[in-house]
Amino acid sequence: MADISKMFEQLSSALQQTAISSDAAEIQGILTGMLAGGMPVQSEDWLDALADFINQGDKLPDEIKRQTQQLFQQTREQLMAADFTLVLCLPDDAAPINDRGMALVKWVQGFLLGFGLHQNDLTGCSEDVKEALEDFAEISRMDEKMSEGEDSEQALIEVMEYVRVSAMLCFNEQGRTASRAATPSKTLH
């Protein structure tokens, strides 16, 4: 978890220095949503779509591009792993609870945006995926300050875990299926 927290801080800082108003949580959310929505895992055109949303269509600065590609690679590998290893790119556990909570909200908002780019017909989605997306829509609207304390900490941890598992559910149902369909068969005739 320390590596992803470090990645959050480095990428968020680089974005802030270049006056891009996104943070690493939102970017990972967008990327995860794109993959979960059915973007083929080997796709290379995600960078232009991301630049459209976070940098008004201008190309991303080289350092932002490098760090974002690293985050994409790591996220893709985690989603493809069989052991459900997705780690959300959020601030370190030592960060104030409201910073972590707002980063989670941005992550979910990014996920919904990315998912919508690749999945606009939910009729083929399971009830579990539809429910997760409805819950994500609710989470994305949360703006209340959280009080410091054990109860708030526990509630945030539970919501973070729900988001993590739900994102993997969406990927396993929609993204992994689309990636398989986009991969040509290697069967020799």
Mean pLDDT per 10-residue run, the chain (189 residues)? 78 92 95 93 88 88 94 93 89 92 96 90 88 95 84 93 95 74 46
Half-sphere exposure of 83 (CA within 13 A, CB side): 1
With respect to residue 102, please indicate whether it lies within any of the assigned structural domains: yes
With respect to residue 182, please indicate whether it lies within any of the assigned structural domains: no
Neighbours of 142 (CB within 10 A): 13
* Confidence (pLDDT) at 3: 79
With respect to residue 128, please indicate whether it lies within any of the assigned structural domains: yes
* Confidence (pLDDT) at 1: 47
- Phi, psi values for residue 84, rounded to 5°: 50, 55
* Confidence (pLDDT) at 5: 76
* Confidence (pLDDT) at 180: 54
User: Which domain, by its residues, includes 46?
Assistant: 2-177
How far, in Å, CA of 101 to CA of 87, rounded?
Answer: 15
How far, in Å, CA of 171 to CA of 94, rounded?
Answer: 29
With respect to residue 183, please indicate whether it lies within any of the assigned structural domains: no
* Confidence (pLDDT) at 188: 43
How many structural domains are present in the chain?
1
* pTM of this prediction exceeds 0.75: yes
We report the CATH number of the domain holding residue 6 as 1.20.120.740
* Confidence (pLDDT) at 13: 93
With respect to residue 156, please indicate whether it lies within any of the assigned structural domains: yes
With respect to residue 189, please indicate whether it lies within any of the assigned structural domains: no
How far, in Å, CA of 110 to CA of 125, rounded?
Answer: 20
